Amino acid sequence: IKKIGVLTSGGDAPGMNAAIRGVVRAALSEGLEVCGVYDGYLGLYEDRMANLDRYSVSDMINRGGTFLGSARFPEFREEHVRAVAIENMKKRGIDALVVIGGDGSYMGAKRLTEMGFPCIGLPGTIDNDVAGTDYTIGYFTALETVVEAIDRLRDTSSSHQRISIVEVMGRYCGDLTLAAAIAGGCEFIVLPEIPYTREELVGEIKAGIAKGKKHAIVAITEHICDIDDLAKYIEAETKRETRATVLGHIQRGGAPVAYDRILASRMGAYSIELLLKGYGGRCVGIQNEKMVHHDIIDAIENMKRPFKGDWLDTAKKLY
Ligand code: ADP
């Protein structure tokens, strides 16, 4: 290969810029050329790309978001749309593509590889919901953000003897909620991996009140229930004022923490190593602190993310 493309796709995450920088600098140091694609698969289809040199990624390692932009582009599921994208890359002499995104973006990378265009996927999402890696780029930064928010809620809910419900991102993965709950000292945790009933939750909160807890913070992952309804139910059952807070897109922003920058840099450089060895259709991960790569199709279809049941047990013991 002589020239590679790089894009960011799907939900943005802190550290994506550091990953782009890692890809660009590693590629240049191996004598490859790099082309940046704007707005994910949409820009690939619309042929919006520009060559990147080492200064294109200067002052990027600490910046949140993605300077290449990201987009949702459902049309990329159609083969004729992907054929145009491949044609656009071939015209520019691009031989391989690095895709930074979540598992939706991996699907696009998988399809391109199946059509004969080699792609490498890097896990960029705050949700930590990608198989084949212990951690995704952006997760540790979002975790700090959520813990800071919980700390603030704790101050105010303890002053008012109030119950707070805090909704955390993660799509269908409870990792961010669980880790933030432990770090934020929340014993009431509702996760997508564990079946829950609001009656049971209220039972736990009431037991806490009975033993003298002045306030309670419930950490819950998004998409499980309407948390305003849940707040009304808890208030009616416990007679304690209950407020719901959706943290929302705050969780996606901010300068990446050091670990995300290191992860992004290592993964970016590793993707170039793999391409130079002739690999395509692989996704990069970190497992037990080592860089690893798996077949994208295998990761999407067969690998399951292990649930940290022991973490939840620990959190409950600290009740
Ligand atoms: P994430 O990558 O964060 O999981 P999405 O699920 O929105 O985000 O996926 C990002 C983009 O990846 C989509 O907007 C689409 O362009 C592309 N994509 C998702 N699924 C497929 C698929 N089955 N085939 C081709 N492209 C896909």
Reported as a single tens digit per residue, the pLDDT across 16-62 is 999 999 999 999 999 999 999 999 999 999 999 999 999 999 999 99
Residue entry with tokens 């660009």: 24
pLDDT at 176 over 80: yes
Strand partners, 168: 221
Q: What is the mean pLDDT of the segment spanning 125-133?
A: 96
- If you average pLDDT over every residue of the chain, what do you get? 96
Mutate to test the pocket of ligand 1, among 37, 38, 77, 114 (most ligand atoms within 8 A of CB): 77
Nearest-atom number in ligand 1 for the CA of 101 is 2
108/111 Cα distance (integer angstroms): 5
| CB neighbourhood size of 188 (10 A) | 22
Q: What is the mean pLDDT of the segment spanning 245-259?
A: 97
Look at residue 187 in the predicted model and tell me its pLDDT: 81
Look at residue 2 in the predicted model and tell me its pLDDT: 96
Single-letter residue type at 157: S
The encoded tokens of residue 250 equal: 């705050």
Active site residues: 127
Look at residue 157 in the predicted model and tell me its pLDDT: 85
The encoded tokens of residue 38 equal: 């704007």
pLDDT at 169 over 90: yes
Q: Name, in order, each residue with C-beta under 8 angstroms of 110's C-beta and a sequence gap of 6 or more.
A: 119, 281, 296, 297, 300
Q: What percent of the chain has pLDDT over 90?
A: 91
Ligand 1 centre to CA of 184 (Å) is 32
Look at residue 319 in the predicted model and tell me its pLDDT: 73
Q: What percent of the chain has pLDDT over 70?
A: 100
Q: What is the mean pLDDT of the segment spanning 84-112?
A: 96
Query: Which protein residue's CA is at the shortest distance from atom 20 of ligand 1?
Result: 104
| CB neighbourhood size of 314 (10 A) | 12
203/238 Cα distance (integer angstroms): 9
pLDDT at 104 over 80: yes
Q: What is the mean pLDDT of the segment spanning 125-153?
A: 97
Q: List pLDDT tens digits, range 263-314.
A: 999 999 999 999 999 999 999 999 999 999 999 989 988 898 889 999 999 9
The 3-class secondary structure across the chain, one letter per residue, is CCEEEEEECCCCCCCHHHHHHHHHHHHHHCCCEEEEECCHHHHHHCCCEEEECHHHHCCCCCCCCCCCCCCCCHHHHCHHHHHHHHHHHHHCCCCEEEEEECHHHHHHHHHHHHCCCCEEEEEECCCCCCCCCCCCECHHHHHHHHHHHHHHHHHHHHHCCCEEEEEECCCCCCHHHHHHHHHHCCCEEECCCCCCCHHHHHHHHHHHHHCCCCCEEEEEECCCCCHHHHHHHHHHHHCCCEEEEECHHHHHCCCCCHHHHHHHHHHHHHHHHHHHCCCCCEEEEEECCEEEEEEHHHHHHCCCCCCCHHHHHHHHHCC
Look at residue 268 in the predicted model and tell me its pLDDT: 98
Query: Which protein residue's CA is at the shortest distance from atom 6 of ligand 1?
Result: 104
Q: What is the interface pTM, i.e. ipTM, of the complex?
A: 0.94
The encoded tokens of residue 134 equal: 């212990």
